[in-house]
């Protein structure tokens, strides 16, 4: 049976409802967040808001306190759901390294008992953003060049566009497609804390007026109100601090990752377009559709020619049935190095016999020389540039919707196969 994309997904995400909902690997922490929101609100509705229903005589306005608490809580939970249950902006990973790389004969690796030339490809590239060169890196896990502001989340094992951070409280990465909902969730939770704290303090004040007592006597009358006030006060430092911090990040068009990593480098923020434009970018732009269709069926890949396996090399070395082998390599200057099909041993023997009939006999050393020289491959150059962004094989090119009107230049930082494995 054909499998869907979410069933063979290489990241650490968890899928629900047949791939319709996507969570992070720490989605269980979402239950803790739900309890931290729902339980205090239930206590507030039962022990505080219920007693305030008749405290405001005109038109029973006290019922509004209860209704607002319930509706506001539902709104916060919806924002939490939109933050944690959707694709944060995951870039589909490639199943193969970039097709364009550098063919370096000086670096060789042993494959199947035979020395083969090593491969190198640029570790970084430079992209022009608002007239400033921005360096983008190659991701060894996803086998792609990350677009600007993209980073690899080590928890989810995905490259996320406009990566902000991985939030354990929502069990999801915060990126391009859910940052707006994350900020609205944090700011709404802050307002909910302020509301519950204020109404609990109001109830303490009403108890003081009704019993003509002190604050301590009123607090003894309603211990849940005191607990809620203390809880909201502590929680307010957390969610309120996050709201203020992310308000600053939005105003300056930064992400949490950029702020902590580049703050000491004194780098120029090339994305800052002014405070009003930065807020409009976050809250008033259309959210891009997901680059992943998790419910789509997995398409079969076209088989690629690879280096000969160890078993085939052993069969050939033992004198078994010879097979023709094709080795495809690509050079960094768009040069396609194809190793031509090797002759088998019978053809070499026939060549030696034919030459032996017209000339002097050949020695064993000459036969080995023929075998060795026959393994050298001619070079075929191709000027065609292949772009495979959005396909299963890698490419130099970065998605045009991510890098509109930007130029890409190659850097000279290379990585060897040993460094890639590390």
User: Which pLDDT tens digit goes with each residue over 273-287?
Assistant: 899 999 999 999 999
378 domain residue, yes or no: no
369 domain residue, yes or no: no
355 domain residue, yes or no: no
- Mean pLDDT is lowest, of 263-267, 280-284, 313-317, for 313-317
Pairing, β 21-23 against β 14-16: antiparallel
Q: How far apart (Å, rounded) are the C-alpha atoms in residues 343 and 108?
A: 23
293 domain residue, yes or no: no
Q: Does residue 316 carry a pLDDT above 50?
A: no
Query: What proportion of the chain, given as a percentage, has pLDDT over 90?
Result: 40
Q: Does residue 418 carry a pLDDT above 60?
A: no
More confident residue, 84 or 379: 84
Q: Provide the pLDDT for residue 380.
A: 35
Q: Please give the model's pTM, rounded to 2 decimal places.
A: 0.69
End-to-end Cα, the chain, rounded Å: 37
Q: How far apart (Å, rounded) are the C-alpha atoms in residues 149 and 137?
A: 11
As given in the structure block, the two tokens for residue 227 are: 């607990």
Four-point Cα dihedral 96, 163, 271, 180, nearest 10: 130
Question: Which candidate in 167, 173, 193, 232 is catalytic?
Answer: 167
* Range of the structural domain that residue 26 is part of: 5-89+167-284
141 domain residue, yes or no: no
HEC assignment per residue over 304-372: CCCCCCHHHHHHHHCCCCCCCCCEEEECCCCEEEEECCCCCHHHHHHHHHHHHHHCCCCCHHHHHHHHH
What is the sign of the dihedral through the CA atoms of 290, 295, 301 and 307? positive
Q: How far apart (Å, rounded) are the C-alpha atoms in residues 158 and 139?
A: 10
196 domain residue, yes or no: yes
Nearest residue to 158 (alpha-carbon basis) of 145, 141, 136: 141
SS3 for 229?
helix
327 domain residue, yes or no: no
Q: How many domains does the chain have?
A: 1
385 domain residue, yes or no: no
More confident residue, 95 or 347: 95
Q: Which residue shows structure tokens 């364009």?
A: 100
- Establish whether 139 is a catalytic residue: no
């Amino acid at each position: 049976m054909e499998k869907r994309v979410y069933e063979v997904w290489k990241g650490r995400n968890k899928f629900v409802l047949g791939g319709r909902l996507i969570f992070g690997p720490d989605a269980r922490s979402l239950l803790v967040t739900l309890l931290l929101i729902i339980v205090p609100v239930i206590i507030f509705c039962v022990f505080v808001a219920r007693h305030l229903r008749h405290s405001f005589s005109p038109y029973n306005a006290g019922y509004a306190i209860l209704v607002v608490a319930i509706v506001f809580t539902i709104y916060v939970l919806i924002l939490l759901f939109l933050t944690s249950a959707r694709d944060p902006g995951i870039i589909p990973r490639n199943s193969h390294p970039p097709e364009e790389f550098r063919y370096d004969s000086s670096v060789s690796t042993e494959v199947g008992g035979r020395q083969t030339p090593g491969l190198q490809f640029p570790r970084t590239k430079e992209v022009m953003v608002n007239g400033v060169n921005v360096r983008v890196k190659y991701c060894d896990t996803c086998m792609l060049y990350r677009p600007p502001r993209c980073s690899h989340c080590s928890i989810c094992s995905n490259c996320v566009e406009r990566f902000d951070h991985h939030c354990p409280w929502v069990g999801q990465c915060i990126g391009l497609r859910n940052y707006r909902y994350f900020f609205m969730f944090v700011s709404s939770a802050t307002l909910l804390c302020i509301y519950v704290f204020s109404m609990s303090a109001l109830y303490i004040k009403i108890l003081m007026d009704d019993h003509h007592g002190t604050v301590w006597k009123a607090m003894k009358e309603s211990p849940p109100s005191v607990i809620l006030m203390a809880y909201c006060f502590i929680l307010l430092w957390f969610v309120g601090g996050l709201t203020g911090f992310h308000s600053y990040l939005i105003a300056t068009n930064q992400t949490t990752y950029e702020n902590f990593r580049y703050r000491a480098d004194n780098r120029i923020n090339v994305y800052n377009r002014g405070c009003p434009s930065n807020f409009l970018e976050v809250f008033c732009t259309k959210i891009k559709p997901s680059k992943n269709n998790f419910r789509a069926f997995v398409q079969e890949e076209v088989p690629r020619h690879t280096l000969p396996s160890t078993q085939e090399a052993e069969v050939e070395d033992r004198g078994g049935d010879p097979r023709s082998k094709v080795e495809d390599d690509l050079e960094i200057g768009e040069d396609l190095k194809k190793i031509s099909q090797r002759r088998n041993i019978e053809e070499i023997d026939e060549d030696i016999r034919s030459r032996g009939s017209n000339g002097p006999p050949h020695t064993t050393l000459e036969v080995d020389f023929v075998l060795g020289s026959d393994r050298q491959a001619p070079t075929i150059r191709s000027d065609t540039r292949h772009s495979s962004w959005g396909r299963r094989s890698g490419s130099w090119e970065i998605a045009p919707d991510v890098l509109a009107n930007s130029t890409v230049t190659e850097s000279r930082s290379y990585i060897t196969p040993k460094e890639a494995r590390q």
